[in-house]
Structure 1
Amino acid sequence: MNFIWFLIVGIIAGWLAGVLVKGGGFGLIGNLVVGVVGAFIGGFLFSLLGLGSNGDLIGSIVVATIGAVVLLVIARAIKRA
């Protein structure tokens, strides 16, 4: 069941990041990939700051979305260079 929640959080976070950064989503698979990678980035960044999501759903979505936004901003900067 945790794996299913992980996928759901990834899809939601990827979609939110796409809306915030690019203006739209990337499709189901694209959102999932961006969200899952963003979750790892967000978890890493938040652990460096000594913060966490306490394992709740909303906190996990927030952390994953912030990580996904960071991922998309870096990808956009590299693409422009």
Structure 2
Amino acid sequence: MTVSGIISALIVGLIIGLLGRLVVPGKQRIPIWLTIVVGFIAAMIGTFIANAMGVGDTRGIDWIELIIQVAVAAAGVSLVAGLYGRKHVH
């Protein structure tokens, strides 16, 4: 994997993670690095699901794939925020 590939993966992870955080109601007390990790994993899982459904590669913007990725990110953010919050109670 090249440096540009890593940077692209981090940017996609950040965007998908932030969109996932926007969908989840309330405040999520997780750091930005964890949001990126959740977003990156959600993007990979969402792409796998979209490809399995046959909607991973369409003309133009792959809206269905993006919606699946954001939904997976929202579930991931919700799960991680709950687990992270329990470990880091102030």
TM-score, normalised on structure 1?
A: 0.65
How many residue pairs match? The answer is 75
1:29–1:67 Cα change, 3 Å: same
Q: Which 5+ residue runs of structure 1 have no aligned equivalent?
A: none
Runs of 4+ displaced beyond 4 Å:
58-61
Identity, in percent, stands at 28
2:53 aligned residue: 49
Q: What is the RMSD computed on CA atoms of the aligned residues?
A: 3.1
1:40–1:9 Cα change, 3 Å: same
1:5–1:64 Cα change, 3 Å: farther
On the 8 A contact 2:16/2:73 being kept in 1, the answer is yes
TM-score, normalised on structure 2?
A: 0.60
Q: Which 5+ residue runs of structure 2 have no aligned equivalent?
A: 84-90
Tell me which of 39, 42, 48 is aligned to 1:35. Answer: 39
Tell me which of 20, 24, 36 is aligned to 2:23. Answer: 20
